[in-house]
Chain A
Amino acid sequence: MKVLAYDAQKCTGARECEVTCAQTWFKVQDVAKSSIRISVKDDGFAAQFCIQCGKCIEVCPTEALYYNKQGIVLLKKDLCVGCMSCVGFCPYGVMYFAPEEALAFKCVACGQCVKACPQEALKIVELDEASTDVWNLRF
């Protein structure tokens, strides 16, 4: 699977990724619409985003969520009824909800944030299975 990864050592908190994500998928600057969230820690920064574990697929009652061939969890918008089951049951709190569309959204490892990061702190990496290691990978 090709997933997003983050190197905390490189991050300077520019938050270009958040803005780019919101802009790419929602055409807004509001970072509440970003599927990647940067937070400040005592010793620097941390990132939260989907690791593609697929737990949400199990709880979705409409079969709107599925794995594509690359191992990325995608959402079929026409099937999603905005029930927020996936939002509440995502073990990592990285499934989000857009009230104005009444749809769930998440990181699909599209790589736009990778291009936008001035510090090269984000990368698309190839993994055998989903792991929270991607939140702090050295590369």
Chain B
Amino acid sequence: MTNKIIRHVLAEFPYQTPRIERGYANQTLYVNVGTGEIKAKPVSDEMKLKFTGGKGFDLWLLWHAVHDDTKWDSPENEIVISTGPCGGITQYPGSGKSLVTTVSPTTEIITDSNAGGHFGPLLKFSGWDAIEVQGIAEKDVMVIVDAIEGKVTIEEMPDAPNDTHLLGRWLYDVLAEKPQEKYYIAMVSAGTGAEHSLLGCLNFSLYDRKRQDVRYKQAARGGPGTVLRQKHIKALVVRAQPFKGDANHPADMERIARVGADIQREIATWDSVQNRMRNRGTSYLVEIMSDYDLLPVNNFKFGSHPQARDINGAYWETRVTQGLPDGCWYGCTVACAHAVDGFELQTGPYKGHKVIVDGPEYETIGAIGSTCGIFDPDAILELNFYCDTYGIDTISYGNTISFLMECYEVGILDQEKTGGLELTFGNAAASLEILHQLARGEGLGKIAALGVRKAKTYVIEHYGADPQFVQDIGMENKGMEYSMYMGKESLAQQGGYALTNKGPQHDEAWLIFMDQVNNQIPTFEDKAEALHYFPMWRTWFGLCGFCKLPWNDVVDPKNSKSAEPAKIPHHVQNYVDIFSAVTGREVDINEIIAMSERVYNFQRVFNIRLGKGLREHDYPPYRGVGPVTEEEYESRRERYDQQLREWLGLDPDAMTLQEKMAAHRHYRTERYERLMDAVYERRGWTRNGVPTVEKLKALGIDFPEVLAVVEKKLRAED
């Protein structure tokens, strides 16, 4: 097949794959699709020590690539992808993640997003700790890292389809000379939706040997797929050599094997009686969240719905194919990467096709499902599939649609403005229609394509919407749409969402249960400590190539007797062992936290450099804090009234609804300010959220260009 396909090579860079030593290839790959320049960059010991890998490497490379005024569509913006030193380990579940960073089209600061799939590990095994792609190509190109041929190329392949599910099959057929070679191919792609939207996600492929087909996991947050397509890149591809379980050449394989055997047995013993991730993936969360009033419904107005049972974990267990080793990288027996096979599409350009739907995961079910008032599983699958193949982030898309649905219900939008669509909560057909419009760059799809923040501006400017109301209900912070947990009754989670670097994605902190359900962090100081420890701990996964789920989604019940169950100390020790055994760098939990603090603070400074990253950018919309509308208040009146009595010593019976809502708003808003103060102090930042010079020095990231950014800001504060 290879001969018949047009492959117009624009640039070629020969190389030899170095031996991977202790988790590092010790070089990164630079590709400029605009100029055709391709080169290797060495990885220094300091880079490993201070930035570890993964997101740390991404940020370090990106920092040197961009300017203070770089925008997402500037040619110098890059997509940087790296796994990390433990990425590609097969003996510990969840060790194949890739981290992507870029300047985001929606937040206009740094976004980072992680995905499973095989790209990161295979890229490293092919000799590269990271790939940074800069420039804008004239026509659509592929970047192909071919370790078998020993070269990196930029190529035009004019016959390549655009949407991911077609592109993947096509490309694997083109590149694999023998069927087994497909096992060692991985690609990163977006789709037609990403061309017409700021919400573009990246699909990271893997070859599923059992299904004999290509599967995808998404790095979706912050629009990296939009950047890929704006650069006119159809796919980044790696064609690797077959590899063995010691491809990372770790320092101490025996230690890895010991820990690996322990965790595999723990999963084998407990998953089936706990979350059943192996059977239903993260969808198990739907029911729990709805039970605790934490499942976003109708644009986060409410936290539960009777119909949530139609889309809960027990249902999905009957729907996703059972009994397959659905890990997103080898050795992950948590295996949450399930799929619905043979799903027949009912709408859109692929109507009638039978496809594999990767997922649905909890966040997707919440975003395109419950928060849009949609509880029809088939509609969720159809939306999930099209979002993926079009290269659209399900979380951002769902939030944007639910925002528009609320705008419709309150009269900001009407049928004239929606092109005849009755955009009420629950209208799945309308959501699907808008998604297809978005992929074509038409109609209401053009507004949905903007994401919540820019859609807010649009309805204010074009339809005269009340700015305060729109600001209150649009579920975004920093320009990123919220992931799927209702934070109204958890102050710590409000901070966990908005006191973040990239925006409200729970990968930094998920504190709802600790805070709201178990009341383990009652004071501001407790919450601030949790908002220090957990974001740092969680950041570390993305420096190394780890997935967080095997840390806390399957746990031997003996953990409840440990000193700090929320941290899961015996799993923390596993990670200490694995990292030390891979890299030969003996660490403990304090050093782990320090590794993350370096990268975390560096990212904060990076955002400041790009003109944001300050206190003013860390405020949540009020919908994420308390009841915006009378309807919301009335739906949970008992709770809110009781809070007025307990928290404020007020008598709700003597107050009007408006007075009660105002009292809540005042109290909750002020409480959030105090949380900010406590968290900034704990993190070593000023009241404006700027890392202090002392902090940067203590962390060893006091590079002159970093200090310069901070000092300028601190002078302005004085």
Q: Are A80 and B253 touching (Cβ within 8 A)? A: no
User: Across the interface, do A84 and B257 meet the contact criterion of CB distance under 8 Å?
Assistant: yes
In the complex, the answer to whether A82 meets B333 with C-beta atoms within 8 Å is: no
Check B327 against A61 for contact (C-beta < 8 Å): yes
Interface centre among B244, B261, B264, B267 (most CB of A within 10 A): B264
Where chain B touches its partner, the secondary structure class is loop
Is A87 touching B90 in the complex (CB atoms < 8 A)?
Answer: no
- CB nearest neighbor in B for A78: B242
Are B323 and A58 within 8 A (Cβ)?
A: yes
| Interface status of A97 (Cβ within 8 A of chain B) | yes
- The residue of chain A having its C-beta at the shortest distance from the C-beta of B209 within the complex is A63
Q: A81-B90, A89-B268 are in contact. Are A99 and B330 (CB under 8 A)?
A: no
B257 and A61 form a contact (CB under 8 A): no
Whether A82 lies near B323 (C-beta < 8 A) is no
Q: A61-B325, A99-B257 are in contact. Are A83 and B245 (CB under 8 A)?
A: yes
For chain A, residues 50 to 90, give those with C-beta under 8 angstroms from any C-beta of chain B: 58-63, 78, 80-85, 87-89
Scoring B residues 369 to 380 as 1 if CB is less than 8 Å from chain A, else 0, what string do you get? 000000000000
**B64 adjacent to chain A (CB < 8 Å):** no
How far in angstroms is the closest Cβ of chain B from A116? Answer: 27
Interface residues of B in 535-549 (CB under 8 A from A): none
What CA separation (Å) do A81 and B243 show in the bound complex? 7
Shortest distance from the beta carbon of B329 to any chain A beta carbon, whole Å: 9
Residues of B170-195 contacting chain A, CB below 8 A = 183
Closest to B243 in A: A81
Complex Cα distance, B246 from A50, in Å, reads: 25
Instruction: Provide the B203-218 mask, 1 if CB < 8 A to any CB of A, else 0.
Output: 0000001100000000
User: Which residue of chain B has its CB nearest to the CB of A61?
Assistant: B325
Residue of B nearest to A96 (CB): B261
Chain A residues in 8 Å Cβ range of B257: 84, 97, 99
Q: Report chain A residues within 8 Å CB of B265.
A: 88, 93
Task: List the B side residues contacting A43 at CB < 8 Å.
Answer: none
State whether A61 and B244 are in contact (beta carbons under 8 Å apart), knowing that A82-B91, A84-B90, A85-B333 are contacts in the complex: no
| A81 CB contact (under 8 Å) in B244, B253, B268, B333 | B244
Q: Does B569 sit within 8 A of A, measured CB to CB?
A: no
Which chain A residues lie closer than 8 Å to B256 at the CB level?
99
The reply to whether A63 and B268 contact each other, CB–CB distance below 8 Å, is no
Does B264 contact A87, Cβ atoms closer than 8 Å? yes
Tell me how many residue pairs across A and B have CB atoms closer than 8 Å.
81
Cβ-based interface call for B254 (8 A)? yes
In the complex, chain A residues whose CB is within 8 Å of the CB of B260: 84, 87-88, 97
Central interface residue in A84, A87, A93, by most chain B CB within 10 Å: A84
Question: In the assembly, what is the distance between CA of A88 and CA of B261, in Å?
Answer: 6
A31 lies within 8 A of chain B by Cβ: no
A42 contacts the other chain (CB 8 A): no
On whether A62 and B333 interact (CB within 8 A), knowing A81-B245, A82-B90, A89-B268, the answer reads no
Which single member of A60, A85, A89, A102 contacts B244 (CB below 8 Å)?
A: A102
Partner of A89, one of B209, B253, B264: B264
CB nearest to B252 among chain A residues: A99
Kindly list chain A residues whose C-beta atoms are within 8 Å of the C-beta of B263: 88
Interchain CB contact under 8 A, A82 and B246: yes
Q: Is A128 an interface residue (CB 8 A)?
A: no
A103 interface residue (CB < 8 Å to B) = yes
Report B292 CB to chain A, min CB distance, Å: 32
Kindly state the interface size class of chain B when it binds its partner: 20 to 34
**In the complex, which residues of chain A have a beta carbon less than 8 angstroms from the beta carbon of B268?**
88-89
A83 to B268, CA, bound (A): 14
A83–B257 alpha-carbon span in the complex (Å): 9
Residue of A nearest to B246 (CB): A102
Docked pose: A106 CA to B673 CA in angstroms:
60
Flag whether A133 is at the interface (Cβ < 8 A): no
| Contact A59–B90 (Cβ < 8 Å) | no
CB-CB under 8 A from A97, the residues of chain B are: 91, 257, 260-261
Does B331 lie at the interface of the complex (its beta carbon under 8 Å from any beta carbon of A)? yes
Neighbouring A residues of B327 by C-beta, 8 Å: 61, 85
Closest to A100 in B: B253
**Interchain CB contact under 8 A, A89 and B254:** no
With both chains docked as a complex, state the minimum distance between the C-beta of A67 and any C-beta of chain B, in angstroms. 16
CA distance A100 to B256 in the complex (A): 11
With a CB–CB cut-off of 8 A, which chain B residues contact A78? 242
Q: How far is the CA of A84 from the CA of B327 in the complex (A)?
A: 13
Q: Which B residues lie within 8 Å of A102 (CB)?
A: 90-91, 244-246, 253
Q: How far is the CB of A66 from chain B (nearest CB, A)?
A: 12
In Å, the complex CA distance between A83 and B325 comes to 12
Q: Which of these, A61, A93, A99, A101, contacts B209 with CB under 8 Å?
A: A61
| A84, B209: Cα distance in complex, Å | 17
CB < 8 Å neighbour of A83 from B91, B242, B254: B91
Contact B330 A88 (CB under 8 A): no
Residues of B within 8 Å of A100, CB to CB, are: 253
Residue from the set A58, A59, A88 with the largest chain B CB neighbour count within 10 Å: A88
* Residue from B183, B268, B327 with most neighbouring chain A CB atoms (10 Å): B268
CB of A115, distance to nearest CB on chain B (Å): 30
With CB as the reference atom, state the residue of chain A lying closest to B327: A61
With a CB–CB cut-off of 8 A, which chain A residues contact B210? 61, 63
Q: Measured between C-beta atoms, what is the minimum distance from B211 to chain A in Å? A: 11
* Nearest opposing residue in chain A for B245, CB measure: A82
Please state if A82 and B261 are interface contacts (CB–CB under 8 Å): no
Interfacial chain B residues near A93, Cβ < 8 Å: 265
Task: Select A88's contact among B242, B243, B264, B323, beta carbons within 8 Å.
Answer: B264
Contacts of B331 in A (CB 8 A): 61, 81, 83-85
Expressed in whole angstroms, the Cα–Cα distance for A78 and B244 within the complex equals: 8
Q: Closest residue of chain B to A80, judged by CB? A: B245
Using a CB–CB cutoff of 8 Å, the interface residues on chain B facing chain A are 90-91, 183, 209-210, 242-246, 253-254, 256-257, 260-261, 263-265, 267-268, 323, 325, 327, 330-331, 333
8 tightest Cβ-Cβ pairs between the two chains A and B: A88-B264, A82-B245, A83-B331, A102-B245, A102-B246, A83-B90, A99-B253, A61-B325
- Can you sample 8 A-B contacts with CB below 8 Å? A59-B333, A61-B330, A83-B91, A85-B333, A89-B264, A89-B333, A99-B257, A103-B245
Give 6 A-B pairs besides A81-B331, A88-B333, A99-B257 with Cβ atoms closer than 8 angstroms: A61-B330, A82-B90, A82-B246, A88-B263, A97-B257, A102-B244
Residues on A close to B: CB < 8 A? 58-63, 78, 80-85, 87-89, 93, 97, 99-103
